[in-house]
Structure 1
Amino acid sequence: MKDIGFLGLGIMGGPMARNLIAAGNRVTVWSHNGAKAAAFAQKHSCEVVKTPEEVARRCSTTFLCVGDTAMSRDVILGEQGLVHGAARGSLIADCSTVSPMASKAIGKALAEKGIRFLDSPCTGSKPGAEGGTLSFMIGGEKADFEEARPLFEAMGKTFYYCGPQGSGLHAKMTQNLVLGNIMQAFNEGIVLSTKGGVDPRMMIDILNNTGARSGYVSTKADFVLKGDFSTTFSVRWLEKDLGLALEIAAELGVPMYTTSATQQQLRMARAMGYGEDDICGSIRALEEIASCKVRDAKGKSEA
C-alpha cells in the first residue's frame, strides 16, 4: 500500500482520487474548498489536510488536477505549496491542463530541490474520470512515468509518453484545439442546415455515415437535440484551453486562424451565460444570433 497525495477534487479530480483509493492506496487529499475535502475524506475513508505542503510531507507521490496555470503554480510553488513539504526524490504529477511554458518552469524549480515532476494532462472528461478510462499524455523522464504507471493505471486505460517536460501538455493542447474546432464546425453546420429546412436528425445521420463523421458528433449530437447540457467538460475550460493553444502558437510562430475564431465563439457563449454548461451547449450562442433553435426544428425533410 502506497501513500499517495491528491490535490483538487472537482469534476475530474474527485473521481480520479476515488479510483486511487479503490486500487488500495492510502490517499491524502486537499482542496481549496475545505468542506468539500472533508466530505470526500469522510465518504471515502481517506485522510484530509489543510495545505498542499502537508500532503507532500505525508506522500512520496502526489497528483494534482486543478483548473488553470495560476492554481497549479500556487499549489506547487506557493507559500504553502508542495515544494515546501516534498522530500528529495519524491514525485509530483500535474494532471491539470496548463501552460507548457509555465509547467516547464515549475519542473525546473522542483528539480533544483531534487523533486521529480511529470506533466500528465488527461482527456476523457467526467465519464472517463468516473470510469477510470482516462487517456494520459505524459511529459518528463520516462523512468519516472514507468515508476508511477501502476498509479496512472488506476485512473486511466491509455497512456502516451510524449517526451521531455512540457511535451504532454503540447499534445493535450493539440487534442483540445482539434476538438474545439470540430465542435464549432458542427455548431455552424447543424444551425445552417436546420435553418435551410433540413431535419437536424437526418443531418446528424448524414454526418455519422459520411466522411464528416467524428467522435464529437456521434457523442454529443443527441445531447444537443435533447437540450441536455449537463457538464462533462465546460465551455469555460475549453475556452481557457484554446487560449493556451494560441499562446503556444504565438511563441512558436504558428498561425491559427480557425482556433482563434473558435475561441472567440466560446468567449461569446460565456458572455451570454453559458460558460458553466457542457461544451455542446455553446451552440446556443449561434442559435440566438441566427434565430434558429435546432432542438425545436423538425425540418422540411420530415414533410
Structure 2
Amino acid sequence: MADLAFLGLGIMGRGMARNLLKAGHRVSVWNRTPRDLPADLVEAKVEASIPEVVSGKRLVMVCLTGPDAQRETLLSQGGVIDSAEPGSVIVDATTTDPRVTLEVAEAAEKRGLQYLDTPVFGSKNEAWEGQLDFVCGGDRATFDAIRPILDTMAATVHYLGPSSKGAAAKLVGNLLVAAQMVSLGEALSLARKSGIDPEGLMSYLDVTDFSSGLIRGVGRATLSGDFTPHFYLKHMLKDARLIGDYARSVGASLPTTAVTTELYQAAANKGLGDLNASALHKLLFEMSRLD
C-alpha cells in the first residue's frame, strides 16, 4: 500500500481521498482552507502546510479548482514543486488550461519530479463511490506505474498522450457537458410550456437513442426543483471560460460555446453560482416565464 499525500478537499477531493483510504493506502491531507472532514476520512492525517503534507511522500495527488489554485499550490515558494522530494510523482486531477499543465510539468522536470495531468469526469456521487473517469497525460511509463492507484478511484482510466493531453481532453468533454446542460434546459422549458406530464416526458427521455446519464439524472432533478450542488455552477462557468481561452490559443472556432459561456455568466450574475450547474435551468425557465 502507498504512503501518499492528497491536496484539495473540495467536493471531488473528499471522495477521492475516501476511496484511497478504503483501498488501504496511508493518506496525509491538506486543504488551502481548513475544513471539517466527513467520518469516512477520519483515518487521514491532516497536515497544516504543504511542506508537511508532502514530506517523505513519493506520490502526491492534487485536485484543485483551477489555474490560480494550481499556481498557488504547486508553483509558489514552499509549494508542492518546491517541497516535494526529487523522484516523487505528482498526479494532478485539476481541470485547467493545458498551457498551465505544460508550465507545471516543466517546473516539475527541473526539480527532478514526475508530473501527470489526470483530470476526471464525474461529480460528487461518482467521486464518493470511486466511479470517476480519468483522462491522463504525461510520461507513459509513469502513468503505467501509478495506474493501480487511479483504479481505486475510477470506473475507467484513459491515457491520452504526453503532458497536457489529459487536460485538453477534459476541456473537450466539459464542452459537451456544458452544451448538453443548456440544451436540456431549453428542452425542459419547451416541454413545460407545452404542458407535457413530467413523468411521461422522462419515461421516453430515459430510453431514446439520444438519452444520457445527464438527461436522465439532471432532468428529473430539475423537474423536482432539486439544485443541490454536486458540481457548482460557478465551476462550470470557470470551465467554460477555460474552454474558450484555450480554443482561441489553438485556433479552434467554438461559436456556440461562446453563447453557452454567456448563459452561465448570466446565471452566476443572478446569484446561482453556489447551486448545481443545472441551476442554469432556473435562468432558462425564467426566460420562458416559467416558475
Q: 1:43 to 1:156 in 2, by over 3 A?
A: closer
Tell me the secondary structure at the aligned position of residue 273 of structure 1.
Answer: coil
- For 1:29-178, list aligned pairs within 5 A: 29-36=29-36, 39=37, 44-178=42-176
Partner in structure 2 of residue 299 of structure 1? none
Distance 1:218 1:91 in 2: 38
Contact 1:190 1:203 in 2 (8 A): no
Match of 1:223 among 221, 224, 235: 221
Tell me the secondary structure at the aligned position of residue 19 of structure 2.
Answer: helix
Distance 1:237 1:43 in 2: 24
Contact 1:132 1:156 in 2 (8 A): yes
Match of 1:182 among 180, 183, 195: 180
Contact 2:56 2:85 in 1 (8 A): no
Contact 1:92 1:115 in 2 (8 A): yes
Partner in structure 2 of residue 298 of structure 1? none
Task: Give TM-score scaled by structure 2 length.
Answer: 0.95
Query: Based on CA coordinates, which of the two structures has the bigger radius of gyration?
Result: 1
Partner in structure 2 of residue 16 of structure 1? 16
- For 1:209-288, list aligned pairs within 5 A: 209-288=207-286
Structure 1 counterpart of 2:61, one-letter code: F
Q: What is the percentage of aligned positions where both structures have the same residue? A: 32
Structure 1 residue 27, shift from structure 2 partner: 1.0
Distance 1:193 1:43 in 2: 43
| Structure that is richer in helix per residue | 1
Structure 1 residue 18, shift from structure 2 partner: 1.6
Over aligned residues, Cα RMSD in angstroms? 1.7
Q: 1:201 to 1:46 in 2, by over 3 A?
A: closer
Structure 1 counterpart of 2:31, one-letter code: S
Contact 1:94 1:119 in 2 (8 A): yes
Q: Deviations over 1:91-139 (max 9, x none)?
A: 0011010111011111001101110000000111111111011110000
Structure 1 residue 35, shift from structure 2 partner: 4.3
Structure 1 residue 196, shift from structure 2 partner: 3.3
Distance 1:78 1:21 in 2: 28
Tell me the secondary structure at the aligned position of residue 188 of structure 2.
Answer: helix
Contact 1:55 1:85 in 2 (8 A): no
Distance 1:217 1:34 in 2: 35
Q: 1:102 to 1:286 in 2, by over 3 A?
A: same
Structure 2 counterpart of 1:30, one-letter code: W
Give ranges in structure 1 of 5+ residues lacking alignment: 294-303
Contact 2:18 2:41 in 1 (8 A): no
Partner in structure 1 of residue 203 of structure 2? 205
Q: Deviations over 1:237-263 (max 9, x none)?
A: 111111111111101111111111111
Q: 1:148 to 1:19 in 2, by over 3 A?
A: same
Q: 1:50 to 1:42 in 2, by over 3 A?
A: farther
Structure 1 residue 53, shift from structure 2 partner: 2.2
Distance 2:38 2:113 in 1: 28
Give ranges in structure 2 of 5+ residues lacking alignment: none
